[in-house]
A and B are shown apart, each in its own frame.
Chain A
Amino acid sequence: MTRRYKKITFLTGQSRPGGRAAWAMLLGCCALLASMLSVARAQKAPEASEEGKRVYEKSCAHCHGIEGRGDGSAAENLLPRPRDFTRGLYKIRSTEAGQLPTDQDLFDILTEGMPGSSMPGWETALSANERWEVVAYIKTFHEGFKENEAPRQIDLSGKIAYSEQSVETGKALYTELGCVECHGNVGRGDGTSAPTLTDEWGFRTWPANLAQGWNFRGGGDTEDIFKRFIGGIAGSPMPAFEGDSFLHFGLASEESKRLTELESKDEMTEAEEEESGKFYEKMDAAVDIALSITEGETLNTEDRQTFDNAMRVVYEKSWHLANYVKSLSPEKRPEPAIGNNVLRAQYVGGELPALGDAAWETLKASYFPVVGQIIVEPRQFNPTLDSINVKSFYNDNEVAFLFTWDDRTHTTALEDEETGKKVLEDALAIQFPVKVPQGPTAPKPYFLWGGRLPVYLWHWKASAPEQVTELTAKGINKAEVQAVQSNIQAKGTYTDGQYNLWVKRALKTDDKKDLQIEPGVFVPIAFSAWDGANGDVDTNRVISSWYTFVLEPVPSSRRFIYPPLVALLSVGALFGLRMFVRRRNS
Chain B
Amino acid sequence: MKRLSLFTTCLIIFVGCWVFLRFIVGSVISVPIPGSVVAMYMGLILIAILVHISVEDSRFREFLRPLRETLVDDNRRVRRRVVAVLVPLVLLAYTYSIFAQRANPPGNPRDAHPSPPLELTYKDEVIGKMQEVENPFRHYEKDEPEAFKAHVENGRRVYYQNCFYCHGDDLDGQGHFASPLQPLPANFQDPGIIPNFQESFLFWRISKGGPGLPAAGTPWDSAMPIWENMLTKDEIWDVILFLSDYTGYQPRTFGEGH
| Partner-B contacts on A (CB < 8 A) | 58-59, 62-63, 72-74, 76-77, 117-118, 120, 122, 124-125, 336, 338, 342, 344, 369-372, 374-377, 381, 437, 439-448, 451, 520, 522, 544-546, 548, 550, 552-553, 555-556, 558-559, 562-564, 566-568, 570-571, 574, 577-578, 581-582, 585
Contact = CB atoms under 8 A, between A and B. Distances in A.
24 contacts: A62-B157, A62-B169, A73-B156, A77-B161, A117-B176, A125-B169, A125-B170, A344-B102, A374-B166, A374-B177, A377-B230, A440-B108, A442-B218, A442-B219, A444-B218, A444-B221, A548-B105, A553-B103, A559-B99, A563-B93, A566-B95, A567-B91, A574-B71, A582-B72
A522 B88 contact: no
A59 B170 contact: yes
Interface of B: 68, 71-72, 83-84, 87-89, 91-93, 95-96, 99-100, 102-109, 156-157, 159-161, 164-166, 168-170, 172, 174-177, 179-182, 209-211, 215, 218-221, 223, 225-226, 229-230, 246
Contact of B225 (A375, A444, A558): A375
A120 B169 contact: yes
B223 A570 contact: no
B180 A563 contact: no
A122 B96 CA distance: 48
Contacts of B219: 437, 440-444, 546
Nearest to B153: A73
B89 A440 contact: no
Interface centre among B100, B176, B221 (most CB of A within 10 A): B176
A440 B114 CA distance: 17
Contact of B72 (A338, A443, A581): A581
A444 B109 contact: no
Given A73-B157, A444-B220, A563-B95, A578 B72 contact: yes
Contacts of A582: 71-72
Given A558-B99, A566-B92, A574 B156 contact: no
A441 B218 contact: yes
Nearest to B111: A441
B172 A124 contact: yes
Given A342-B105, A446-B220, A559 B225 contact: no
Contacts of B108: 440
Given A371-B180, A447-B220, A568-B88, A73 B160 contact: yes
A104 B93 CA distance: 55
B179 A369 contact: yes
Contacts of B93: 563
Nearest to A444: B219
A446 B210 contact: yes
A376 B71 CA distance: 74
A120 B100 contact: no
A71 B51 CA distance: 77
A570 B87 contact: yes
B80 to A, nearest CB: 8
B83 A369 contact: no
A577 B71 contact: yes
A117 B177 CA distance: 10
Nearest to B84: A574
A74 B169 CA distance: 10
Contacts of B99: 555-556, 558-559, 562-563
Given A74-B164, A556-B99, A578-B71, A59 B106 contact: no
Contact of B170 (A122, A442, A552): A122
Give the interface centre of B100, B223, B230 by most chain A CB atoms within 10 Å.
B223
B98 to A, nearest CB: 8
Contacts of A520: 103
Contacts of A122: 170
B68 A522 contact: no
A551 to B, nearest CB: 11
A447 B180 CA distance: 13
